[in-house]
Structure 1
Amino acid sequence: MTDFGAIDALLAGAKKEVMLPPAEERRRLREGLNLSRAQLATALGVGASTVGGWESGRDPSGEVREKYAYFLEGARTKLDAAAAAEAPADEPGDNDPAGAEQAVAPGSDSDDVDVLPAPQPCVLCGQPARHQVEGFPQHLDSAECGAVEPVQAEKPVSEPALQQTSRQLAPAGRQSQAARGVKVVPVGRRVQAASDTPDLIGSAVAAALAEHAGDVEAATAALVKRAIPDAMALLDHTRKGGRYDIVAHPWLPDILRKQSARGADQVWEARPKWTRPELPAGQHEVTALDVNGAYLSALKTHLPLGQLEHSTGDHHDRRRAGVHLITPPVWDHDAVLPNPIGNRDEPGPLWVTEPTLRLLLRLSGPKYGLCDPPEIHESWTSGATEGLLEKFRIALKDARDRAIGEDDEVTLEYVKQMYSKFVSTLGESNYNRELYRTDWMHLIRSQAFANLWTKAFKAYDEGLMVVRAMGTDELHVIGDWRAVFPEGRGVTEVKVKDVYTVGTGQDQPMQAPQSPS
């Protein structure tokens, strides 16, 4: 006998899947309330990249779909109500106060003005303001805003008057900070008071030290554990107002996928592991230099913005970036300089990244003339920019510089872990599920290798003898290296890792030290 009760229960529990607006509408509703993806993700219990995926066309399912639909409907209702409240019932006349206020609102968009529960500093003049425009406190009435000059009747201005104005403005640089106004920083197409910019790194360090009662080791260990999510939160913060969306989980070609569980993909990063085969006769003092912040510097590289697209032919578009199948040129300078593509045993074509290709193209040009141009067979690329991670890089660099200046080893180690783990977990990693860009990981790493090669060439070009180049940050040289590289702990400086002597002083050529196995 059929169990009709079970069928009735199934029908009672079944419900039609809630509809969601189009992807572009979802983003518009979130941004209309000045909410970041991270804020919405926290409320829904998902990752910021997941929200980014929903706004790129993917759909959630189950209970989280209902929560997301509830948010979107609530956001639409709130925005519609705000727009209706601000729209005047009749066309304001010349004596209408509302019309007057709209006419003098300094740079505001009438469809995104909110009343603040408590006055906040105006981003234009720094004085308390009762409204915010697109999330930024501002005076709506120019008469209240100290940064907006009152409108006066237009009249001709004589040349002496202009000269007098110039004399009045000239001493402004000697005024006090209060007289000059509020220092601002760019946030998207608007500006924000610099004092309102949160110091996420400093706040995290202070909180960790407070939580562990000043125990430096315990606080450092806690910060290292959260380095990846904190780096992603910092990235999200520095991308606010950015011109480009970051595609968190794009489709990737097979060449960027591992061939086996413990294997590697097909992209060659050009990691150097080179030792000069022979040194001149005699005894030599070799200095092993350590290049500071190699991965941090490599964050400044051409990164593809969107999903990679396939193309064929021996052509390179500098407006795009990605990976390329090339036949590398013959390298005839291995006796004095490492090969730009690293140590490779197998001949023939190979997949290289944008930094490696650009380095080879540069070295084949008239300025260097060190090799022939590589032959490009096919490419996977997307439109690119070199500044995609620039604010992220600068925030980390500034924090690192401050930590060095203040002898703050906790912050220094925390920042190092943030950028190094950010790079190492961009690929197929279980530790970072917010951003999955294997192509970025390869590009950033190979940019670090290309940067090291460039330092090796600079040393050679300035008369030093290059003995070894390894990884991202190790360069061994013979000669007065301080005349070539500044010494220190800054990102643009180098420090001494080791000093050792090679040779017996006998008058015969000798083998250079070999790389460890």
Structure 2
Amino acid sequence: MTDFGAIDALLAGAKKEVPLPSAEERRALREELNLSRAQLAQALGVSPSTVGGWESGRDPSGEVREKYAYFLEGARTKLAAETAAEEAPAEDPEDDDHLDHADHDDQADAEQNAGGQDDDVDVLTAPRPCVLCGQPARHQVAGFPQHLDPAECGTSEPAPTSGPAAPDKPTERKAPGSPQPSGRQGQSGRGVRVVPVGRRMQSADTPDLIGSAVAAALAEHSGDVEAASKALVKRAIPDAMALLDHSRKGGRYDVVAHPWLPDVLHKQSSRGADQIWEARPKWARPELPPGEHEVTALDVNGAYLSALKTHLPLGQLEHSIGNHHDRRRAGVHLITPPDWDHDTYLPNPIGSRDEPGPLWVTESTLRLLLRISTPKYGLCDPPEIHESWTSGATEGLLEKFRIALKDARDRAIAEGDEVTLEYVKAMYSKFVSTLGESNYNRELYRTDWMHLIRSQAFANLWWKAHHAYDEGLMVVRAMGTDELHVIGDWRAVFSEGRGVTEVKIKDVYTVGASDTTDQRTEVKN
């Protein structure tokens, strides 16, 4: 009787696990209610990463499963009632959850656009030559001195109908907010449209320095592609600086090219390094689920080229103390990084660092940590800032330079022009590598810029890893600036190609065997 009684008690206490909808529906129900993972996690008493795991296919158990099922059923009922009553709000165009995981190379910072484009007309304290006609002008548009009234501008005369155009003399353009003069724009057929700093200026008079250099090198070496490529790569640094100078014409910011730098940005010895930590990732997932898995190693294109879009300090760095971050400034910061509890499925944004305690990081790393510490992500606590070396900053300082390189790279890929492609790669990679204490670039000495651009490339890779995880892929590795290994349908998450917003396959391999130790070794080494 005792045995039967125990069985009866077991059967009375046993119950079938409450069913759950698919992982896709779980996430859709939460997002349709505009709830973040952090909010749901707090209500259920779990971490945001745990909720992320459930939305990627893992199932909870026990009491928390019942709570989660109760939330999902309630969410489904609420949404169904709203739909039936036709009271569901239209999708908010300002909702940028889907943008938070997009390629960092194509995102515009909110503070960059906060002022809009209508305030780009400024009154000059002293007249400066108009970029259109060369005569004194008292206003500037998007950083370019010019006449607002076309009648005052020397380019209001019709352009010649024959003969070569005069160099560096663009024609009439329309100031933002001013009416288009009738008939005049069509007389010359060479109108110039100026847009705010940080975007491209479209003009038929803008010389193609990259294309001209490639053509000259090929002509000099009688069409010998290999010899022309070697010559172009050899002169990549001075050519990059010439392109930078050209892209800075008419810019609204003055840059200190050779500032005094604090000791933390100087090498500690002739062959040593300075004190800045760039957060370089060298991470591998410690364990995989049982079974055999196909891993795709993805190569991120143009990592340093994309990282040129980052917050760079303009002037000499100034010292400050205290746990405060000013988004209008950029530089390097001494911080105590937060604890990271997600190393089993995402790399630490601070990189592969074993030593505890404070360390000097760049603006790029600090902004990454601050962002993922917000309630929207809830992945860590905010870092503690002890002291900083910063200056007024802008994210668009190198934007025209970056766009010129990107456009040349895109054309070279489309046309199969390997000479230009290698030349452009050498320009942006050598530009970054020689900004520090280098004998190869005497025109610009900004060790802080070098660290900032490099760490921005690492931050961009981290966001790609987070995007992959958030879309249900299993992240296996993240290495350097351009290597991401994943398991799953990655083509549903990333675009394949050679563009800077795309990825290409570096390798495909299989991991996982009957022996778990062999599997881990294969993944980590």
| TM exceeding 0.5 | yes
Match of 1:106 in 2: 151
Report how far residue 450 of structure 1 moved. Answer: 0.1
Cα distance between partner residues in 2 of 1:449 and 1:123 = 49
Match of 2:189 in 1: 181
1:456 to 459, 465, 473: 465
Cα distance between partner residues in 2 of 1:271 and 1:384 = 23
Report how far residue 195 of structure 1 moved. Answer: 1.8
Report how far residue 126 of structure 1 moved. Answer: 4.2
1:297 to 306, 321, 329: 306
Cα distance between partner residues in 1 of 2:193 and 2:359 = 44
**1:361 matched to 2:406:** no
- Uncovered stretches (5+) of structure 1, i.e. residues with no partner: 1-27, 35-78, 84-101, 114-121, 140-146, 152-176
**1:199 matched to 2:244:** no
**Residues 188, 243 of structure 1: 8 Å contact kept:** no
Match of 1:392 in 2: 401
**1:348 matched to 2:393:** no
- After the TM superposition, which parts of structure 1 deviate over 2 Å for at least 4 consecutive aligned residues? 31-34, 104-108, 122-130, 132-139, 147-151, 177-183, 185-189, 505-510, 512-516
Match of 1:468 in 2: 477
Deviations 1:158-214 (Å, cap 9, x if unpaired)?
xxxxxxxxxxxxxxxxxxx9679324243999x988221100000000000111111
Cα distance between partner residues in 1 of 2:271 and 2:160 = 59
* SS of the residue 2:509 aligns to: strand
Report how far residue 245 of structure 1 moved. Answer: 1.2
* SS of the residue 1:184 aligns to: coil
Match of 1:279 in 2: 288
Residue identity opposite 2:298 in structure 1: L
Report how far residue 344 of structure 1 moved. Answer: 0.7
1:331 to 335, 340, 354: 340
**1:374 matched to 2:419:** no
1:311 to 307, 320, 323: 320
Match of 1:227 in 2: 236
Cα distance between partner residues in 2 of 1:460 and 1:221 = 41
Report how far residue 134 of structure 1 moved. Answer: 13
Cα distance between partner residues in 1 of 2:410 and 2:167 = 33
Cα distance between partner residues in 2 of 1:443 and 1:318 = 15
Match of 1:430 in 2: 439
Residue identity opposite 2:295 in structure 1: V
Change (3 A) 1:327 1:148: same
Match of 2:83 in 1: none
Cα distance between partner residues in 2 of 1:371 and 1:148 = 56
Residue identity opposite 1:212 in structure 2: H
TM-score by length of 2: 0.66
Cα distance between partner residues in 1 of 2:201 and 2:313 = 29
Cα distance between partner residues in 2 of 1:428 and 1:345 = 27
Report how far residue 124 of structure 1 moved. Answer: 7.8
Match of 2:105 in 1: none
Deviations 1:372-427 (Å, cap 9, x if unpaired)?
00000000001100000000000000000000000100000000000000000000
**Residues 170, 190 of structure 2: 8 Å contact kept:** no
Report how far residue 246 of structure 1 moved. Answer: 1.6
Deviations 1:65-93 (Å, cap 9, x if unpaired)?
xxxxxxxxxxxxxx9xx99xxxxxxxxxx
Change (3 A) 1:125 1:325: farther
Cα distance between partner residues in 1 of 2:231 and 2:345 = 45
Change (3 A) 1:148 1:185: closer
Cα distance between partner residues in 1 of 2:229 and 2:166 = 40
Change (3 A) 1:329 1:311: same
**Residues 331, 339 of structure 1: 8 Å contact kept:** yes
Residue identity opposite 2:522 in structure 1: P
Cα distance between partner residues in 2 of 1:429 and 1:223 = 20
Change (3 A) 1:193 1:301: closer
Match of 1:209 in 2: 218
Match of 2:331 in 1: 322
Report how far residue 107 of structure 1 moved. Answer: 3.2
Match of 1:493 in 2: 502
**1:447 matched to 2:492:** no
* SS of the residue 1:279 aligns to: coil
Change (3 A) 1:507 1:233: closer
1:262 to 267, 271, 282: 271
Change (3 A) 1:178 1:289: same
Change (3 A) 1:125 1:404: farther
* SS of the residue 1:454 aligns to: helix
Cα distance between partner residues in 1 of 2:490 and 2:266 = 41
Report how far residue 106 of structure 1 moved. Answer: 2.4
Residue identity (%): 75
Change (3 A) 1:508 1:281: farther
- Uncovered stretches (5+) of structure 2, i.e. residues with no partner: 1-124, 137-146, 173-179
**Residues 282, 509 of structure 1: 8 Å contact kept:** no
Cα distance between partner residues in 1 of 2:291 and 2:245 = 56
Residue identity opposite 1:184 in structure 2: V
Residue identity opposite 1:426 in structure 2: L
Residue identity opposite 1:206 in structure 2: A
Cα distance between partner residues in 2 of 1:138 and 1:506 = 72
Report how far residue 514 of structure 1 moved. Answer: 5.2
Residue identity opposite 2:151 in structure 1: P
* SS of the residue 1:475 aligns to: strand
**Residues 278, 509 of structure 1: 8 Å contact kept:** no
**Residues 168, 205 of structure 2: 8 Å contact kept:** no
Match of 2:427 in 1: 418
Change (3 A) 1:196 1:137: closer
**Residues 311, 330 of structure 2: 8 Å contact kept:** yes
Cα distance between partner residues in 1 of 2:227 and 2:505 = 29
Cα distance between partner residues in 1 of 2:166 and 2:337 = 55
1:247 to 248, 256, 259: 256
Change (3 A) 1:256 1:413: same
